[in-house]
Amino acid sequence: MSNPTWFEIEAPDGRTSLKLIGAWRLQRLAEIEAALLGLVLPPVAQVDGNTLAEIDSASALVLLRALHRAQGPAGSLNWVGFSAVNARIIERVQVHLYTAPSAPATRRETLLAHLGRQASLLAGLLVGHLNFLGATMAAIGELLRSPGRLRQRELTVQIEQAGLAAIPVVALVTMLIGVVIAYLLGLQAEKYGANIFVVDGVGIGATREFAPIIVAVIVAGRSGAAFTAQLGSMRLTEETDAIRTLGLSPMQVLVLPRVLALMISLPLLVFVGDVMSMVGAMAIAGPMLDIAPPAFLARLREALDARHVFVGLVKAPVFALVIAVIGARMGMTVGRDTRALGAATTSTVVQSIVAVILLDAVFAVFLQALDL
Amino acid sequence: MDGSAPVIEVDAVVTRFGAQTVHDGVTFSVGRGTLVGLIGGSGTGKSVLLREIIGLHRPTGGHVRLLGTDIWSAPANQLDAVRRRFGMMFQDGALFSSLTVAQNVAVPMHEHTRLSRATIEALVALRLMQAGLAPDVGAKMPSELSGGMRKRAAIARAIALEPEVLFLDEPTSGLDPITARGFDRLVRELVDDLGLTVLLVTHDLDTLLGVVDRLIVLARGRVLADGTVAQVMAVDDDWIRDYFSVRRIAGHGS
């Protein structure tokens, strides 16, 4: 069964002959390749195929490469005793071997070139987002002139998916955030006997900063990613092209309903977040800080200015616009393969979260300057 | 190496999806070195049968033997050994989109052989040329290829390990007639040069009339006809008459 000799070199009458033995198949090719490694032949030699049972094209390739190496470029070979099938396979491989130009070498990029390329990609991305934002605004303007063009059904569906369906997760997360803030503040406040001021901290902190940020991050992960995935796969299946050919505008049909739905839903979700974080804080304030719910609510009325709540709610549609524009644009410009879609979806989430936090910082600075 | 044993044996295969019976006792066998076409109307389960033969979909009943191994009762390691001996080309190529064409072709070689990197590179170039692609196509990503090139790249990957059997699902669908005929010639060459056994599912009459050795017709859950194209065309059945009459009309028209 096992056949360790793949070839023999004979020189009966001064003419060197390479006698091939056995079945040369891909399964054993690693052994064959190793055996051929030290092969040296004179410039004129004979290859004997009488004892070669069979050879496949991969083995033929390895054989031809080894012969070329063993003889040098000026060698000449005399092929004898090959069966018609084997001769044909070797011949076909030989044709391919000599017409094959060397494959172009791939160049490695230097660190500086990589940095430059990434920077210009990022700049292109930002300019593209800005363009898309402009196009979205133009489309909204068009909609204001002829409100009948609004896709009400699509808008309703999107509000349901992005808003209504997000309520449970938003409620759960913001309630837990309320619990955590109240707990951490409570630990400090207790030391000074300032228990009641926990209500001030939670009230202002949650409504002004935490609820909008947390809800925006959740929505970026939920809806932003979904927009990219939906629009991206529609692009892959050429549905967006079909929309365009049918004389409809993908901007009006696909993008605007999503942008508007998110801008309507996010403030509502932030309000849910505001309420739920108060509920969470109230739930832990009772047992931990001896602040019963009536006392908590009474203090909340005194401490929490309405403007803090409004600041939080005003930020929400801006966050929504940014998330929706990034999500939709990444979907509309995704490359036409499955890997690009996955990469674009991931990128949407990362970009949205960074953009939300960046915008929140900008809001903080400006509102501070305006004494709000 | 006995040349007489059938390579593919499909024995009384029954397939049901819920209440719907797709195959109701399909039986045929294919010998070494033949190019067999499998045809049938939409919904007759051609692709399903293909998936059952290569072990992707379990039939409700019956046996499938591929290269002498019963696909649906063999242990996993034996099945792996058989998998190395056949290649499959999926309808849209199913190339891995994160790898270049050359890397796609090299995947089975890296996985199943211990060949040196240089040899694998040379072998990849050979496979691309056998599939009718220029070697510089190897550096491209699948998304950069045209439909015809993607199918050729898929063939190159399917024949990477010198399979004895090659399965093709609609190899010429979506190709222009010139590219499609080139593809037919390619498949024929592979059968003649490498001694491959090929089973292809197709709707392309030109493929059937041009290169196929034998034709198997599926209809109403069974093998309706089996033989050379001329033999099948002579079978007295409405569906077969309709199928080939399209061709006759087109032929008279020109």
DSSP-derived secondary structure for A251-309: IIIIIHHHHHHHHHHHHHHHHHHHHHHHHHHHHHHHHHH---HHHHHHHHHHH--HHHH
∠ Cα B129 B133 B135 (to 5°): 70
What sign does the CA torsion over B177, B183, B186, B187 have?
A: negative
Quick one: DSSP state of residue B91? T
Distance CA B27, CA A319 (A): 63
Q: What is the pLDDT of residues A200-242, one digit of tens each?
A: 999 999 999 999 999 999 999 999 999 999 999 998 888 888 8
Give B139's contacts in chain A (Cβ within 8 Å): 103-104, 106
Q: Which of A104-108, A249-253, B177-181, B248-252 has the highest mean pLDDT?
A: A249-253
**8 Å CB contact of B123 and A92:** no
In chain B, the residue whose alpha carbon lies closest to the alpha carbon of A94 is B126
Q: What is the pLDDT of residue A301?
A: 92
Q: Which of A58, A68, A1, A69 is nearest to A32 (CA)?
A: A58
Q: How far is CA A216 from CA A274, A319, A345, in A?
A: 13, 7, 17
Distance CA B139, CA A102 (A): 12
Cβ(B86)–Cβ(B166) under 8 Å?
Answer: yes
Which amino acid is located at A299 in the chain?
Answer: R
What's the maximum distance between 2 C-alpha atoms anywhere in chain A? Answer: 114
Tokens of A9: 């070199």
* All structural domains of chain B with their residue ranges: 1-85+167-254, 97-162
| Of the candidate ranges A181-190, A201-210, A344-353, B145-154, the one whose mean pLDDT is the lowest | B145-154
Burial class (CB in 10 A: 0-12, 13-18, 19+), B88: buried
Best mutation target among A57, A83, A95, A338 (most B Cβ atoms within 10 Å) is A57
Q: What is the pLDDT of residues A277-301, one digit of tens each?
A: 999 999 999 998 899 999 999 999 9
Tokens of A308: 């803090």
In chain B, the residue whose alpha carbon lies closest to the alpha carbon of A337 is B143
Q: Is residue A83, in this structure, part of any structural domain at all?
A: yes
Residue A174 has pLDDT above 80, yes or no: yes
Burial class (CB in 10 A: 0-12, 13-18, 19+), A190: middle
Q: Are strands A22-24 and A52-55 parallel, antiparallel or unpaired?
A: parallel
Q: Is residue A106, in this structure, part of any structural domain at all?
A: no
Cβ(B219)–Cβ(B186) under 8 Å?
Answer: no
> Quick one: A216 and A309 in the same domain?
yes
What is the strand order of the sheet B197-201 is part of?
A: B86-89, B165-169, B197-201, B35-40, B214-219, B222-227
**8 Å CB contact of A88 and B126:** no
What sign does the CA torsion over A300, A304, A305, A310 have?
A: negative
Confidence of residue A106 (pLDDT cuts 50, 70, 90): low
**8 Å CB contact of A33 and B194:** no
Higher pLDDT among residues A89 and A129, named by residue:
A129
Q: Which of B60, B92, B54, B67 is nearest to B9 (CA)?
A: B67
Stretches in chain B below the pLDDT threshold 50: 1-3, 253-254
**8 Å CB contact of A61 and B129:** no
Mean pLDDT of A302-325: 94
Choose the closest CB to A30 out of B84, B102, B114: B114
Distance CA A114, CA A112 (A): 5
Domain count, chain A: 2
Tokens of A357: 């936090």
Radius of gyration of chain A (CA): 36
> Quick one: A44 and A165 in the same domain?
no
> Quick one: A95 and A130 in the same domain?
no
Q: Is residue A335, in this structure, part of any structural domain at all?
A: yes
Q: Is residue A252, in this structure, part of any structural domain at all?
A: yes
Residue A1 has pLDDT above 70, yes or no: no
Mean per-residue pLDDT over chain A, rounded: 89
Q: How far is CA A152 from the centre of its chain?
A: 31
Choose the closest CB to A89 out of B123, B161, B193: B193
| Of the candidate ranges A116-125, A354-363, B42-51, the one whose mean pLDDT is the lowest | B42-51
Structural domain containing residue A214: 121-369
Q: Which ipTM did the prediction report?
A: 0.74
Distance CA B163, CA B84 (A): 7
Q: Is residue A347, in this structure, part of any structural domain at all?
A: yes
Higher pLDDT among residues A254 and B240, named by residue:
A254
Confidence of residue A60 (pLDDT cuts 50, 70, 90): confident
- Cβ contacts below 8 Å, chain A against chain B, sum to 71
**8 Å CB contact of A33 and B98:** no
Which CATH number is A95's domain given? 3.30.750.24
Q: Is residue A1, in this structure, part of any structural domain at all?
A: no
Which amino acid is located at A368 in the chain?
Answer: Q
Interfacial residues of B (vs A; Cβ cutoff 8 Å) = 1, 84, 97-98, 102, 113-116, 119, 121-123, 125-126, 129-130, 135-136, 138-139, 141-143, 161-162, 193-195
> Quick one: A213 and A297 in the same domain?
yes
Mean pLDDT of A136-158: 90
Q: Which of A35-49, A85-99, B156-170 has the highest mean pLDDT?
A: B156-170
**Secondary element (H or E) of residue B28:** strand B20-30
What is the strand order of the sheet B20-30 is part of?
A: B20-30, B8-17, B61-66, B69-70
**8 Å CB contact of A57 and B98:** no
Residues whose CB falls within 8 Å of the CB of residue A29, separated by 6 or more in sequence, listed in order: A58, A59, A62, B113, B115, B119
Which amino acid is located at B155 in the chain?
Answer: I
Q: How many residues does chain B have?
A: 254
> Quick one: A169 and A26 in the same domain?
no
How many other C-beta atoms lie within 10 A of the C-beta of residue A224? 34
Tokens of B117: 């990197």
Cβ(B89)–Cβ(B141) under 8 Å?
Answer: no
The CATH class given to the B1-85+167-254 domain equals alpha beta
Q: How far is CA B119 from CA A27, A80, B127, in A?
A: 14, 26, 12
**8 Å CB contact of A340 and B129:** no
- Determine the 3-state secondary structure of A15 from DSSP: coil
Q: Which of B66, B38, B28 is nearest to B164 (CA)?
A: B66
Q: Is residue A111, in this structure, part of any structural domain at all?
A: no
